[in-house]
Amino acid sequence: MAEEVPSRTPIPVQVGHYQIRRKIGEGGMGVVYEGWDGRLGRAVAIKAVREASKSGDARSRLWREARSLARVSHPRVCQVFDVLEDGNDLFLVLEFLDGQSLANRITSGSITTSEALHDLGIVHRDLKPSNVFLTRHGVKLLDFGLARSTSPALTVDADQAGTSTALTGPGQIIGTPQYMAPEQASGGTAGPAADIFAAGSILYEMLAGRPAFESSSCVDVLYAVLHHDPPPLSGSREIEALDHMIRLAIAKRPEARYSSAREMLDAVNTVSLSSSTAQALQTRTVARLIALPFRVLKRDEETDFLAYSLPDAISSSLSGIDSVIVRSSLLAARFEGPVDLKRIATEAEVDAILTGSVLRAGDQIRVTCQLVEAPSAKMVWSETVSSSMQDLFKIQDELSQRVVHSLMLPLNERERHTFRRDVPASAKGYEFYLRANQIVATRTLENMRLARDLYLQCLDDDPNYAPAWACLGRVHRFIEKFGEDPDQNFKWADEAFRKAFALNPDLAIAHNLHTQIECDQGRARQAIVRLLDRARSRRNDPDLFAGLVQACRYCDELEASVAAHQRARHLDPHVVTSVAHTYFLLGDYQKTLECYGTKGGFYLDCAALVMLGDKETALTKLRKREHITGAVQAIIQSLRAYLEGDFEECLSAIEVGEPLARKDPECLYYMARHLAQIDQRERALKILSSVIDSGFLCGSAMSREPWLASLHSLPDYSLLLHSADLRRNQAHASFLEAGGPQLLNIT
């Protein structure tokens, strides 16, 4: 209140016995003056409502604000001293605060983490930075014009809960759009949970230096409040922990938020800064981008593949930059066709959308691109790039650089070095690479074989192109899992990834795709160490954390596996992880099922249904899936036969599938469950022994798994558990040494 503002209305000399010194605030509905109480020798703030002399509603609003404040007894709330009537004018006399509003403080830059840890646990229906005042003695809350109910965290009279207050402005929305909870924005009742939402929005703004929900119009702001989440915050692990806390506070559903202001404050206080210098780091928001399939203006069999493969290549080139999260091309393919920016922004949860068109004219390819903000549709830039078919990489490179420049993405030395590292040496080879990428977008066994041949043609022309080796490893892995000759394809996949690493040790796509191979080779502990080391500098790579989901599970770090999944989904709500298997090992079959949603799985959703007692639904699903090939087909047939009571067929399916699953210890674990259920206990124990020897350390799951309970009485069962525990302890030591709990925010 101590800041003087230019005067737009005449300043009175005196109100009652209070002398008026200056105007310190003015808005659309009223004005605030600094006054002097000569009787008590103190400064006061005097608030007047413009329409109080003309409108009975305005007078009622001011009286209700005064009564609401009078009921509040809290050191963080601005005190009310008096209400004066001077002729037809009505004035509210308040405590004078020496300092500045939080809104003004934020305009000078984002606030450091230590400043942000203020007590925001005050119930208020219009919490916003301009109503939070920073004084030399702490924080004060202003403007209780919308106060309706109280929180147990504040010592307020119980009867205030029934107080009804009017709007601050006739016909206006109750509250300030940027800080309104969704239930307020949609016309519902604003209870204590709405204050939690506003407090989270304020804390976000304090850290980011920008509102969590902003746009050029009130309508768009309210749309964002209802449908969008703000960009993630990064800069240090402490900031990420606060960001996670903020997400709970600004959840769309009231019941998903903190249950009370006290619970939220306790969560803030768990973020420790005592042993870190991270509070001095600059908080940054992480941009979220999706590159949509380009429109083909004139169909041409020779160039149609560019509609998918060019935006995919741009996405891949940007994926190594930590200040941007690029949504997958698989997700982008869902939005092919007419562009609905609001729908895309909501469903893909992005802030920027890259669209484009492709036109061939002779040997020239012309690509026109637009980068637009979402959901406002504000054009960031538009550009046309032309090139011959022999120089397609030029188009991808120029457009990628424009995106980096337009989004003002900060690049560190590593990112500048890797951003243009993988430059193809052969135009024809790069064309083969792009064509293969288009084909693998639809993941069928036949498509993977076609893509494999194109990647090989690319590498024949350009054997030093690392991304092609990594993608070749991916298709060999898919064919190994669902096709023929698993041993040979597994070997080829591993060799392809090793060549990719030899050419570019920092290639993100290779690191993220190689994790599955490492785990199935018994090197999950090495995978954890490698991925955690990368996570120190690549905090915003959802695929990296998706890889940690599997690596941690294989080492029996199930809590860490779930934490890695949560981090991955926080960065990209659409990223695919294997956390369903983690929940199954934890015995949480309902969460296992929820991972699949309306989409069908292969085997695990049916196994979870069985454990939840819904055998009929499981059988129906299993009978529709027996066309699937490879080791997965064996466990599908085995479970189906077991549920039908045909134990002989159940065993026969396992006998066929076991050789196919030699490189997949997790699949073998599920086979062991079936064997234990049909009284093949010794054989089940033997498979579990090989599973543990292969590096799938499932000791804790074995102990809690109901279908393995019959094995507990076998003499070798305890020895097997002991062996798993010893290996798990070694893996856990590596996990701790690599900083796993800190990097995954496990308390």
The catalytic residues are 126
Q: Is 32 exposed, middle or buried (0-12, 13-18, 19+ CB in 10 A)?
A: buried
The answer to whether 102 touches 179, Cβ cutoff 8 Å, is no
Half-sphere exposure (Cβ direction) of 351: Cα atoms closer than 13 Å:
20
The answer to whether 242 touches 264, Cβ cutoff 8 Å, is no
Quick check: bond before 338 cis, omega within 30? Answer: no
Packing angle of the helix pair 681-693, 665-677 (nearest 10 deg): 160
| CA pair distance 634, 614, nearest whole angstrom | 21
| CA pair distance 128, 103, nearest whole angstrom | 8
| CA pair distance 557, 392, nearest whole angstrom | 45
| CA pair distance 348, 552, nearest whole angstrom | 28
Pairing of strands 352-361, 287-291: parallel
Instruction: Give residue 375's Cα distance to chain centre.
Output: 18
Provide the residue type at 226 as one letter: L
| CA pair distance 307, 745, nearest whole angstrom | 40
Q: Is 679 helix (H, G, I), strand (E, B) or coil?
A: coil
How far from 90 is each of 7, 51, 105, 236, 469, CA to CA, in Å? 20, 9, 31, 50, 77
| CA pair distance 86, 16, nearest whole angstrom | 7
Integer-rounded Cα Rg, in Å, for the chain is 31
- CA-nearest of 345, 399, 743 to 541 is 743
Kindly report the backbone phi and psi dihedral angles of residue 738, in degrees, each rounded to the nearest multiple of 5, phi listed first.
-80, 0
Torsion of CA 156, 158, 161, 162, to 10 degrees: -130
Across 655-688, b (16+ Cβ under 10 Å) vs e yields eebbebbbbbbbbbbbbbbbbbbbebbebbbebb
Half-sphere exposure (Cβ direction) of 87: Cα atoms closer than 13 Å:
6
| CA pair distance 730, 364, nearest whole angstrom | 59
Neighbours of 640 (CB within 10 A): 22
Extract the tokens encoding 677: 């259920």
Q: Is 33 helix (H, G, I), strand (E, B) or coil?
A: strand
Extract the tokens encoding 150: 């109280």
* DSSP of 590-655: HHHHHTTTTS--SSHHHHHHHHTT-HHHHHHHHHT-TT--SHHHHHHHHHHHHHTT-HHHHHHHHH
Instruction: Give residue 183's Cα distance to chain centre.
Output: 22
| CA pair distance 324, 327, nearest whole angstrom | 10
| CA pair distance 526, 515, nearest whole angstrom | 10
Q: Is 380 helix (H, G, I), strand (E, B) or coil?
A: strand
CA atoms 427, 430, 432, 435: torsion sign: negative
Kindly report the backbone phi and psi dihedral angles of residue 373, in degrees, each rounded to the nearest multiple of 5, phi listed first.
-75, 150
